[in-house]
Amino acid sequence: MYHRYDGGGVTVDGPSVLVRKNFKESVSISGNYYVDNITSASIDVLATGASEYTEERTEYSLGGEYLYGKSLFSAGATYSDESDYEASTFALGVSQDFFGDLTTVSFGYALGQDDVFQNGNDDFAGEVDRHSFRIGLSQILTPKLIADFNYELITDEGYLNNPYRSYRYVSDPLDPAAGYTFATEVYPETRTSDAASLQFRYRLPWHAAVGGSYRYFTDDWGIDAHTTQLSYTHVLFDNWTIDLKYRWYSQGNADFYQDLFLFPSQDDKDYRARDKELSEFSDQTLSFYVNYEHPLNWRFGYKAGLTLQYDRISFDYDNFTDLTDEPTVPGEESLYSFDADVIKLLITLWY
């Protein structure tokens, strides 16, 4: 696969290679190599006067599945590395079919252990521990309708903010025109979040299907988020599949987020953030997928597939401003917004 993200002054692209092998119809082993080449001159970089930077992130993952009767056991490990961040994740999962395979119950656990560094500062080092618990229920309601419910609980502990990101405060509260000053963000060292989702898929009589989903997210930082998605899938001429999707996402800001503070943080418990991902914002995504599969008569391959995906994403921030504006009084800058394009090209060979 080749993937590319371009938007908001950030470009991320690179290849990914995945190999999966089945043994005796009960065991499946997979390995994945994934690369992100990152070039960034985002609004956060420009606002603080930093220079555009480039870096590379590489990810390696290994996974396996074992089918025993109506039970499927899975396990996997992922490791990623970049110049200032190392992440390791270990996951276990189980799913079980019931009632004539009409009902599937699944649950899983994942442990993440990350190390955070800061380029140019050898004295800085942080750690993050993540625990994720999930449970899911899939139910065939009619011969044409299927529903899925999923719930996930995540706990994070450690250094949870970005060592490069800053918040801003008024330099002189008595003189707003005096400008503002930057200081390093201060975050809590723990975070607990919950997410629940419900999804439906309905098969239409003309080789097509429609789908809809809703997801609710909340955490103890004060963020509440809503995600709604609609999809339409159509099979053409047996070999072609087309997908259209629309996704809408909105969230409120964290309790300790503010675009402009009146004074600096007083202590390590006086949390401050100006990360746009913690602000109040919404985004809309329009996606188009086209997939073509063709049988082969090769000795080492019996089918090949080609998939092209294009996403157009529009971000609108409600209380995060564009600091490249230069108004007379801080806080009167225009609200920030941007569009992003995402392209994926996937080539698959079944052997």
Q: What is the per-residue pLDDT across 81-111, written as a single tens digit (0 to 9) for each?
A: 999 999 999 999 999 999 888 999 999 999 9
Strands 303-321, 281-295: parallel, antiparallel or unpaired by DSSP?
antiparallel
Q: Are the beta carbons of 247 and 222 closer than 8 angstroms?
A: no
Q: Is residue 24 part of a domain?
A: no
Q: Is residue 104 part of a domain?
A: yes
Q: Is residue 40 part of a domain?
A: no
DSSP letters for 174-241: T-GGG-EEEEE-B--SEEEEEEEEEEEEEEETTTEEEEEEEEEEEETTS-EEEEEEEEEEEEETTTEE
For the chain, the domain total comes to 1
Q: What is the pLDDT of residues 280-313, one digit of tens each?
A: 999 999 999 999 999 988 877 889 999 999 999 9
Q: Is residue 251 part of a domain?
A: yes
Q: Is residue 332 part of a domain?
A: yes
The Cβ of residue 239 has, within 10 Å, a number of other Cβ atoms equal to 12
Q: Domain range for residue 291? A: 61-350
Return the amino acid letter for 117: F
**How many angstroms separate the Cα of 189 from the Cα of each of 44, 74, 88?**
22, 31, 19
Query: What is the value of pTM for the model shown?
Result: 0.92
CATH number at residue 282: 2.40.160
Q: Is residue 49 part of a domain?
A: no
The Cβ of residue 298 has, within 10 Å, a number of other Cβ atoms equal to 11
Strands 27-40, 145-158: parallel, antiparallel or unpaired by DSSP?
unpaired
Q: Is residue 78 part of a domain?
A: yes
**How many angstroms separate the Cα of 198 from the Cα of each of 15, 94, 104, 225, 272?**
32, 20, 15, 15, 34
Q: Is residue 344 part of a domain?
A: yes
Q: What does each of the 351 residues of the chain score in pLDDT, given as a tens digit?
A: 999 999 999 999 999 999 999 998 899 999 999 999 999 888 888 887 777 889 999 999 999 999 999 999 999 999 999 999 999 999 999 999 998 889 999 999 999 999 999 988 889 999 999 999 999 999 999 999 999 999 999 999 999 999 989 999 998 887 877 888 999 999 999 999 999 999 999 999 999 999 999 999 999 999 999 999 999 999 998 899 999 999 999 999 999 999 999 888 888 899 999 999 999 999 999 999 999 999 988 877 889 999 999 999 999 999 999 988 877 788 888 999 999 999 999 999 998
